[in-house]
Amino acid sequence: MNQSKKDPYLIFIGMGFELVALILSSLWLGEKLDNYYKAHGVIAMGLMILSLVGWFVRLIYMVKKVFK
C-alpha cells in the first residue's frame, strides 16, 4: 500500500477524538472563567457551543476535501 495515501476514514476517527478533547477543554476553561467572573455557567456554555460550531465547520471542510 502506498504510504502517501491514507485511509480517509482514519481522519474522521481522529476528528471524533478532537471533538471530545474540545468539549472537555472548553468545559474546564469555561468553569475556571465562570468561577472567576461569577457568570453561572454562561461562559462554559458559550465556549462549548463555539468549539462545537468550529468543529462542524472543520468537519464540513474535511468531508469536501477527502471526498472530492
pLDDT band at 5 (very low <50, low <70, confident <90, very high): low
53 or 11, which is more confident?
53
Cell of 34: 465562570
pTM exceeds cut of 0.85: no
- Spatial distance between the Cα atoms of 60 and 65, rounded to a whole number of angstroms: 9
Task: Record the cell numbers describing residue 65, joined without a space.
Answer: 476535501
Cell of 57: 465547520
Looking at the chain, the whole-number percentage of residues with pLDDT higher than 90 is 69
SS3 content of the chain, % helix, strand, coil (to 5): 80, 0, 20
